[in-house]
Homo-oligomer: A and B are copies of this chain.
């Protein structure tokens, strides 16, 4: 049986939970209002834009997005319809598929990034000093691996 959380652990946990939830919601709302993109759309565009050849296998993409394979298929199909991404079979593996960023996808990302990063700065970066940001960055890199 695990030890119960202390009062102070619970308090910090809830502060983090409610606040990070509110932050995700605000980022999603402001991004949608400014560009029509969801956070998932934006994140797919960023991951593809930085991948070698601007292409990435569907399974690897699912991992980066924390989506189930069926949810990734739905997400990518929606972006294909909007011309942001296309799907191609893998050169090395005829059974697999890759998502490939289109020119329009790249342009959409370039147009959306300044406003989105202004929200990120205002809502997150500017609220933290360098040391706090480093603590948070390192801690969540560790948490990601659990």
Contacts and interface: CB of A to CB of B under 8 A. Distances in A.
Interface stretch (A80-88, A99-107, A132-140): A132-140
Interface stretch (A2-10, A30-38, A52-60, A89-97): A2-10
B121 A132 contact: no
- Grouping DSSP codes into helix (H, G, I), strand (E, B) and loop, the A interface class, with mixed when no group exceeds half, is helix
A79 interface: no
A137 B16 contact: yes
Contact of A137 (B12, B64, B137): B12
Interface residues of A, number: 49
B23 A124 contact: no
A105 to B, nearest CB: 19
